[in-house]
Every structure is written in C-alpha cells, then in structure tokens.
Amino acid sequence: METINLLIWSFDALLGLCLLWLAWRTLSAPDLYKAVVLFVAFGLLMTLAWVRLDAPDVALAEAAIGAGLTGALLLSALARLDPAVDDQSIVTQKDNRPKSESVQWAAFMSLILVAIGLGYSVLSLPLKFKGLSPEVTEQLVNSGVENPVTAVLLNFRGYDTLLEMAVLLIALLGVWSTGNKPKYDKPFSSPVLDFLSRLLTPILILVAAYLLWVGAHAPGGAFQAGSILGAVGVLLLLSGWRLQKDSSLLLIRLILLAGPFAFVAMAVITMMIEGQLLQYPPAHAGLLILVLETTATLSIGATLAALFLGGPPHLKNEESP
C-alpha cells in the first residue's frame, strides 16, 4: 500500500511539474507556431489532471475543447496572421519584442509576491470542507437526473447555463462582425483526410449523441456532446464541405438560436407555472432537461464550428473571385 501511494504521489508531482514546464515553454518559446503546439499538449495534460482530481465531466470537456478546438482556432488564426507570404510564414511568425528589462523585473518580483499570497491563502484553508455537496446529494432525487454535475448545470444552477448560451451567441456575433467573410480556399485534399473525415463524421456524431444521453447518470452531457459536434464541424470545414443551398444558411441560423431560445422559453414557462426561474416540476424534470440539453448541444456544436469559420457563412458560389 505504501509503495502504491508513493507511486501515485510521484505521478501527481510529475504531472504538476510537466504542466508548469509546458506552460512556461508555451509562453516563452520564440516561435509562435511552437507555442501553440505546446499549448495543445498542455491541454492534453490538463485532461489527465482532471482525471486525477476525480472530475471526469471536466476532463471530457477539456479533451474536446481545451486540447482540440482551442488549438484548431489558434492554428487557423496563426495561419491567417500573415496571408501575404506562403505557407512557410506559419513557422516564422516570431514574437521578438518583449518589454524592457526593468519592466520584466518589476513584473517578476510583484508576481512572486502575488503567488506567495495566493499560496498562503490556499494553504490556510481547512483541509476538510463539505462545500455544497450535501445539499446537492439531498436534492438529487428531485432533479430528474442522477449525475450530480448535470443536475447542477441544468437544474440547480440552470440560469448559469442560460447565460452561457447567451455568451456563446454574443461571442459569435462579435466574431461575425469583426471577421471578414471567410475565404473558401481550395480545400487541402488528400486521400487520408477524405477517408478519415468520411469515417469519423458518423462515428463522432454517434459519440456526441451517446454523451448527451449518458450525461443523465454518468459523466457526459450537453457541453461535452456539443464540443464533439463542434469538432465534427471543424473536420468537415477542413475537408472542404460547404453550404450549398440558401435554405441551409437559414437553417444554420435557426440552429444557432435554438439553444438560447429554448432556455428562455423554458425559463418563462417554469416561471409562470412554478413561480421560479427554471424550476422544473420534479415529475417532468428528466424529460425537460433532456429537451433543453438536446437543443443546447446542437447550438453549442453549431456555434463552435461557426467560431472556427471566423466570419458570417455564405454560399460557395457567392464568392468573389
């Protein structure tokens, strides 16, 4: 038992050191391309840390978003930073202009103080603390789901998720208004990409549906499923899939709005029936949560893919030459 404990402890310590080292390299590597790749590796190791902290729900979200989508977003932005030069520019975008040495020293010294202060406050917290888990366990039977994290996200603190859907929509509106119309470059074509995207798309959609369904009683849920759908969208966009019809532009916009509007509608209805924002009648809570989660999944997936596209979608044939 002693040896196993020691092994687990050394693994945790190694993981912590790797996280700090990767973060340091991400922030100090002179080559920005290298920095982004290191950041993706950092996201993957964060996933391991979530698993070590008994947070599988967070690990699933981090694996799909932190390690996947954020990396894709950063790489595509890096490639667009310097479009005048050919592909080689991705590797030569450098960041050679750090602040003067006195500023560096002042920042370094004051941040050491900040870190010591934060460390002291964390170390002075009690080692045992129940938090809100007794309340959550007590009310779990009324929530309509068995996974406590899903119960918190969709029922006890449903308004957080409502506001989050609004945040996603606003971020997308911001990207659409600042971003240029996406240039549909000739898609990079390779037999491997074509084959894999054909193979993976249906599998990933199934995985997303599974995660959505299983979220009621095991790790999973709308966010994890939505980010997988977003990843499907990114894969399809990269392999050259484009909107073909006018009606699909409208359909995309309807899907983007479905999640926030379903939440607002549910909030208004529950307020009229139960008197409280998003307080579901316990008998129907499971079904209502499933409806909300399904629309939220579709909206989150569509929003994330649209964020990757970078500008308002348009049809392929509208393209200016």
The minimum distance between CB 316 and other proteins, in angstroms, equals 22
Q: Does 180 help bind other proteins (rule: CB under 8 A)?
A: yes
Residue whose CB is less far from other proteins, 234 or 266: 234
Q: Which residue stretch of 16-24, 202-210, 250-258, 281-289 sits at the interface with other proteins (rule: CB under 8 A)? A: 16-24
Position among 88, 100, 247, 320 found at the interface with other proteins (CB under 8 A): 100
Q: Which residue stretch of 9-17, 195-203, 244-252, 282-290 sits at the interface with other proteins (rule: CB under 8 A)? A: 9-17
Q: What are phi and psi of 31, to 5 degrees?
A: -85, 120
Query: What is the identity of the amino acid at 257?
Result: L
Q: Which residue stretch of 51-59, 238-246, 247-255, 267-275 sits at the interface with other proteins (rule: CB under 8 A)? A: 51-59
Residue whose CB is less far from other proteins, 166 or 193: 166
Q: Which of residues 239-298 bind other proteins (CB under 8 A)?
A: none
Please answer whether residues 159 and 278 qualify as being in contact, where contact means their C-beta atoms are separated by less than 8 angstroms: yes
Q: Does 157 help bind other proteins (rule: CB under 8 A)?
A: yes
Q: What are phi and psi of 52, to 5 degrees?
A: -65, -25
Please answer whether residues 188 and 270 qualify as being in contact, where contact means their C-beta atoms are separated by less than 8 angstroms: no
Q: Does 223 help bind other proteins (rule: CB under 8 A)?
A: yes
Q: Does 174 help bind other proteins (rule: CB under 8 A)?
A: yes
DSSP string, 259-303: HHHHHHHHHHHHHHHHSSTT---GGGHHHHHHHHHHHHHHHHHHH
Q: What is the DSSP letter of 87?
A: T
# binding residues, other proteins (CB under 8 A)? 94
Q: How remote is the C-alpha of 200 from its chain's centroid?
A: 20
